Amino acid sequence: MSKKVGMFVWNHFTNDARVLRECTALSEADYEVDLFCIHDPKDASLPMFEQRNDRFRIFRLRRYPVLLELMQKVYRYSMQNKLFGAFCLIVWALIAYTAPIPVIILTVVAVLLLKTKVRVIWVRGSLILRMMIKGHRGNYDIYHSNDLNTLPQGWISAKWRLKPKKLIYDSHEVQTSRTGYNSPIYGKLEAFLIKKIDEMMVENHTRAKYNEDLYGFYPHVVHNYPFKQEMKNQVEKVNLHEMLNIPEDEKILLYQGGIQTGRGLDKLIKAAPDFHEGVVVMIGDGKIKNELQVMVKEMNLEEKVKFLPKVPLADLPKYTKNGYLGFQVLNNVAFNHYSASSNKLFEYMMAGVPVVACDFPEIKRVVEGDKTGLTVDSHDPKQIAEAVNTLLADEKLRNELSENSLRASSKYNWDTEKRNFLEVYHESQSMEEDSLGTKR
């Protein structure tokens, strides 16, 4: 009889490659997987429910509570339609005249819920609660929490019952040293909840050793390698030269991924004027994209640096193939960045695109060990420019690195790594069966 898995992830599940690979691997191994994620109210085409195959279902939970959505709609309509707004104000004043104290209380509550951080707490708290309820009602055999922001949901769903279930913690990031997560509450929450889990996964041995030093045990290592690309995707290519009006003989210097703080993209733009040729193309979206676009404009680099929005994961290899070289120039802003393996590194590799990469331990091990690119001090624009110009000037070296990348992709791919992932589940299942046998 197949085991049922309840999995949680705190995103819309539109471009989460790791979770997609894991859910697919489980369903192919005869596990029944239900994934709980968040619906994007800005995307009307995004379904609330998807059936990916016979054993893999996706449930997207409404982001905003119904009451909040109603309040927001009334407020926006009142602002847009002055007559309606005036009518509401008159009605509210009449009610206030007869019952002033309740109206004052309701007004204060409404302002707090619509205009302050209380709204954020309400939205997130409601989502967490609804995930817990969904997970608990599902009565799954195994619960799987992706990252710390879904670990409470997994803990309540798996352990707050008469017969506790197995709980797997899949930590994609280093929660205690991560940009944007500076509050000590994250470390304290993880330290508390990590005692409640049955198995833990991290993406490389540098992070596993960090976890051992912090919590006293060495978790399973499941690398974040991409799917092995089919020959069809290796051959097909979106024409970025035509799409971005770049001359056909101009080389594309590619960055793909999140446009976020700590990715070294500001240093890359500062290095761009020193590139002897080529156009930097950044594919992706993120919080600092507008800031970088302003930076490019102020430096008069519009013809040297171009941007594209993020593309679906399935189509990304067709864009990657355009790169003469690729960038992975993370900055050491937190241990989370310093210890990263970087899925993008392996996506470049699949397409035969050599890299200019940071010299952090996990990335350096691959790039220098398999000779798939050049490593630099990613905080120094001059070193970035020197590496780029080396590959621009020496096409023979570039092509050797490209061939090495394609060769190395045979071992850095999910087809091989998923065995390690499934072993975590098999080990958890074997422990449960041994426990039942002992009880008998």
Q: What is the pLDDT of residue 419?
A: 92
Task: Please tell me the predicted confidence (pLDDT) of residue 209.
Answer: 96
CA atoms within 13 A on the CB side of 247: 8
Rounded Cα gap, residues 391 and 374, in angstroms: 9
**What is the pLDDT at residue 231?**
46
CATH topology for the 4-64+120-225+417-439 domain: Rossmann fold (3.40.50)
Q: Side chain identity at 10, as an amino acid letter? A: W
| pTM across the whole model | 0.84
Tell me if domain 4-64+120-225+417-439 and domain 231-412 are identical in fold: yes
Q: What is the mean pLDDT of each run of 10 residues along the chain (440 residues)?
A: 91 91 95 97 92 95 82 74 78 76 72 75 91 95 96 97 96 86 86 96 95 96 84 68 93 95 95 97 94 96 95 88 96 93 89 96 95 97 97 96 94 91 82 48
CATH architecture of 231-412: 3-Layer(aba) Sandwich (3.40)
Mutual orientation of helices 395-408 and 343-350 as an angle, nearest 10°?
Answer: 110
* Cα-based angle 222, 226, 228 (whole degrees, multiple of 5): 120
For the chain, the structural domain boundaries read 4-64+120-225+417-439, 231-412
Enclosing H/E stretch for 185: helix 184-193
Find out whether 55 and 30 touch, Cβ atoms under 8 Å.
yes
Residue-by-residue DSSP string for 308-347: E----TTTHHHHHTTEEEEEE----SSHHHHT---HHHHH
